[in-house]
Amino acid sequence: MIKSDKIENTKDFRISVAPMMDWTTRDYRFFARLFNPNIVLYTEMVTTGAIIHGDAKRHLDFNSQEHPLVLQLGGSNPQDLTTCTKMAEDWGYNEVNLNVGCPSDRVQNNKIGACLMAEPNLVAECIDQMQKTVSIPVTVKHRIGIDDMQSYDEMLHFVDTVAATGCTHFVVHARIAILQGLSPKENREVPPLRYEDVYRLKRERPNLTIEINGGIKTFEETQQHLQHVDGVMIGREAYHNPYLLAEFGQFWNLDMPDRFNIMQQMMPYIEKRLAEGAPLS
């Protein structure tokens, strides 16, 4: 286990790769880190039950080169979330993020993900308890709304309720989530993007760190969003086009990495993982 420091940005903004089930595995994260040393990486969402009652080592282990690294938790029981948040700090994670954005009916049934936007007081209780047990930041990733809670004012009420605990960092997926009738894939595509709602949130709550997510695919789009918010989270484009992460090096005046060198750096890692009997993913 590696004792971590808080994430320190070299600029007054943040670029991150979104937590994505089955995609942001530890092997992908090691690969992604080779393209850019400064972007923030997230794990897949891990439920509190999987950590507490399952194989914690399998879910929490990572390579030290993955830093800065955030563990995203799924859950709504304050005690369980507190336990897992403390484990994350001890394991060496830089931050913990609570998932309040996943629209899957599979997690809704366990009161996980976007359905929690309807219960801001419960989310606030969870965040409050999580923050009290660790020194690393605890953040929230959420949608701009769900189902019939689609107004800006309702999102603002959710954010204000959670922010009253002292939480200052919110990652906002700029779409509502339709919890009945749309699949998770459709929820990433069908509800229209409402970037202006996220911009407005930053204008009206300038003391909060607001990071935008949803449909962002290029360096130029990222530059545009950074005129309005504190950070940009890239989703599936970072998986389909990992060299985009190298393009973001322009923000830090980094040289573009050589693709062949990246391949060479991956080989010892792959050999080590295979020797451990790990399935590469």
| pLDDT tens-digit map of 229-281 | 999 999 999 999 999 999 999 999 999 999 999 999 999 999 999 999 888 87
State the number of CA atoms in the 13 A half-sphere of 17 facing the CB.
Answer: 38
Question: What's residue 67's pLDDT?
Answer: 97
Instruction: Using a pLDDT cut of 70, give the percent of the chain over it.
Output: 94
Inform me whether the pLDDT recorded for 2 exceeds 50. no
Collapsing DSSP to helix, strand or coil, 43 comes out as strand
Compute the distance between CA of residue 255 and CA of residue 107 in angstroms, rounded to an integer: 41
Please give the distance of CA 128 from its chain centroid, rounded to a whole number: 19
Domains of the chain: 14-266 (3.20.20.70)
What pLDDT band is residue 110 in, cutting at 50, 70 and 90? confident
Burial of 5 (0-12, 13-18, 19+ CB in 10 A): exposed
Q: Which residues face 97 on adjacent strands? A: 72, 139
Active site residues: 102
Question: What's residue 7's pLDDT?
Answer: 52
Residue ranges of the annotated binding site are 19-21, 72, 141, 173, 213-215, 235-236
CB 193 within 8 A of CB 214: yes
Q: Which residues face 42 on adjacent strands? A: 70
Sign of the CA dihedral running 208, 188, 24, 57: positive
Inform me whether the pLDDT recorded for 31 exceeds 50. yes
- Across 69-73, 109-113, 175-179, 184-188, which has the greatest mean pLDDT? 69-73
Q: Give residue-wise pLDDT tens across range 129-154.
A: 999 999 999 999 999 999 999 999 99
For 23, 140, 165, 245, 264, the CA distances from 41, given in Å and listed in that order, are 12, 15, 25, 11, 22
Q: What is the mean pLDDT of the chain?
A: 93
For 120, 158, 190, 195, 202, the CA distances from 154, given in Å and listed in that order, are 10, 6, 21, 16, 15
Report pTM: 0.93
Q: Give residue-wise pLDDT tens across range 162-177.
A: 999 999 999 999 999 9
Residue ranges of the annotated binding site for FMN are 19-21, 72, 141, 173, 213-215, 235-236
Inform me whether the pLDDT recorded for 1 exceeds 60. no
Compute the distance between CA of residue 142 and CA of residue 19 in angstroms, rounded to an integer: 12
Inform me whether the pLDDT recorded for 216 exceeds 50. yes
Q: Which residues face 171 on adjacent strands? A: 141, 211
Eight-class DSSP state of 181? S
Mean pLDDT on 42-47: 98
Of 204, 205, 144, 133, nearest to 171 by C-alpha is 144
What pLDDT band is residue 3 in, cutting at 50, 70 and 90? very low
Please give the distance of CA 102 from its chain centroid, rounded to a whole number: 11
